[in-house]
Structure 1
Amino acid sequence: MSQSPAPQRRRGNVRGEHTRSVLLDAAVRSFADRGFHGTSTRDIALAADMSPAVVYAHYATKEDLLFELSLDGHRSVHALLEAEVGRHRSSIDRLRAAATGFGRWHAEFHTLARVVQYELNALSEPHLAEVAALRRVTQGLFAELVRDGVDQGVFHVADIDMTATSLTSLGIDVARWYRPTGAWTPEQIGRHHGLLALRTVGASE
């Protein structure tokens, strides 16, 4: 099964889109196994069962592959968060849904998540700035959820931004330790993170 959610950016014809999808999947696996700097373009080509020339026909550099993976990953998780939060009205339910979805996503797409969360420093400065902006949007969503609960008197925290950072950090770290052969499913991890979020903000469940 692919470790990549459906890419947010599509261009060109169907054959070209399929080739790029195969290359992105190969890049995810290669970067996860060897790290960005330990992976060559030839490694990605071999993983995709293609020639290096095909890689260069679609991506000028392996950093371009990492950039597209990073954009797709961050956009995918943010779209999930907005959908999960949009299903609820109360501050408690909205925060629980966001933390649940965030933790579950980082387990379900753990290989992609490890790459896009822990290989950021390999991006060029312009690409890193674009991805960092997406990360701030997600961070801002959690901060807004916590602030709403504080304003309504149902959450009790000393620092809203630090709390939001703590909640997102918990979810991101799932990608580091999660293994499909482990004791917990992505759904179980998600539910646990939802409960942890409520306890972090001092809410009654």
Structure 2
Amino acid sequence: MLSTDERDDVMTATARERLLEAAVEAFAEKGFTATTTRDIAARAGMSPAAVYVHHDTKESLLFTVSIDGHRSALQVVESADDPAAAPPERLRRFVHDFSAWHASHSRVGRIVQYEFDALTPEHRSEVAALRRAIERVMQRVLEAGVASGDFAVDDVVGTTRAILSLSIDLVRWFSPTGPQTPQDVAELHARLALRMVLAHDD
């Protein structure tokens, strides 16, 4: 049986989850600027004052959504990358899993990508560090492919950004109720990424 403190912790965690889910709904539907804390509270079934028990500002809610989303995406690509695998397989798995994550979390992805400027400078800096970490994983994969002769890439930094954009930009148009599944999009993007970089004998 839970103690009083443990019950309070569970209730607090549940309230935070409800707030974050409500914030994602509101930000995705109306955008950060047009969303009010009253909107978020209503969606969460709470009073506006209850929001401030967990988050002192609307921006801090946005930051929590953004930082959690970026950490989740970074974990996905780090888990997907196996340095012992051949570079083409490393790239295929990276792009497949990164695109699948964005398609499966398209609302969160849309928020974290397109509400970046609404964050405070300090929060933007924290999120930017996670973005650079994701880029570094991709750069290592491309560099390994160039070193092995599998990839023909003159500009690793530029190519990294171009390939990442395949996954990131899908949040603009992907619909969970549309004809394509996250798996469909992930497999297509993985094939396209390989075509962009594979070296071919003349």
Aligned Cα RMSD in Å?
1.4
**Residue 78 (structure 2) pairs with residue 82 (structure 1):** yes
Larger Rg: 2
Following superposition, the deviation at residue 197 of structure 1 comes to 1.0
Give the residue type in structure 1 aligned to 2:128.
Answer: A
Q: Secondary structure at the match of 2:81?
A: helix
Residues 22 and 149 from structure 1, CA distance in 2 versus in 1: closer, same or farther, beyond 3 angstroms? same
1:62 aligned partner: 58
Contact 2:149-2:199 at 8 Å conserved across structures: no
Output the CA distance in 2 between the equivalents of 1:50 and 1:15.
Answer: 13
Q: Secondary structure at the match of 1:180?
A: coil
Following superposition, the deviation at residue 203 of structure 1 comes to 4.8
Output the CA distance in 1 between the equivalents of 2:58 and 2:33.
Answer: 10
Give the residue type in structure 1 aligned to 2:82.
Answer: G
Q: Secondary structure at the match of 1:86?
A: coil
Output the CA distance in 2 between the equivalents of 1:90 and 1:76.
Answer: 25
Task: For 1:113-152, list aligned pairs within 5 A.
Answer: 113-152=109-148
**Residue 101 (structure 2) pairs with residue 94 (structure 1):** no
1:25 aligned partner: 21
- Match of residue 189, structure 1, among 165, 185, 190: 185
Output the CA distance in 2 between the equivalents of 1:163 and 1:126.
Answer: 28
Give the residue type in structure 2 aligned to 1:177.
Answer: W
1:52 aligned partner: 48
Task: Output one character per residue of 1:142-198: Cα deviation in whole Å (capped at 9) or x when no partner.
Answer: 111111100111000120000000011111011110011212100111111111110
What TM-score comes out, normalization by structure 1 length?
0.91
| Deviates further, 87-96 or 130-139 | 87-96
1:179 aligned partner: 175
- Match of residue 36, structure 1, among 10, 19, 32: 32
2:4 aligned partner: none
2:195 aligned partner: 199
Q: Which runs of 5+ in 1 are unaligned?
A: 1-11
Output the CA distance in 1 between the equivalents of 2:22 and 2:87.
Answer: 40
- Match of residue 163, structure 2, among 161, 167, 172: 167
Output the CA distance in 1 between the equivalents of 2:12 and 2:24.
Answer: 18
Contact 1:92-1:203 at 8 Å conserved across structures: no
2:106 aligned partner: 110
Contact 1:108-1:186 at 8 Å conserved across structures: yes
Output the CA distance in 1 between the equivalents of 2:100 and 2:66.
Answer: 18
Following superposition, the deviation at residue 88 of structure 1 comes to 6.0
Following superposition, the deviation at residue 86 of structure 1 comes to 3.0
Contact 2:93-2:190 at 8 Å conserved across structures: yes
Residues 88 and 39 from structure 1, CA distance in 2 versus in 1: closer, same or farther, beyond 3 angstroms? farther
Output the CA distance in 2 between the equivalents of 1:88 and 1:186.
Answer: 27
Residues 162 and 59 from structure 1, CA distance in 2 versus in 1: closer, same or farther, beyond 3 angstroms? same
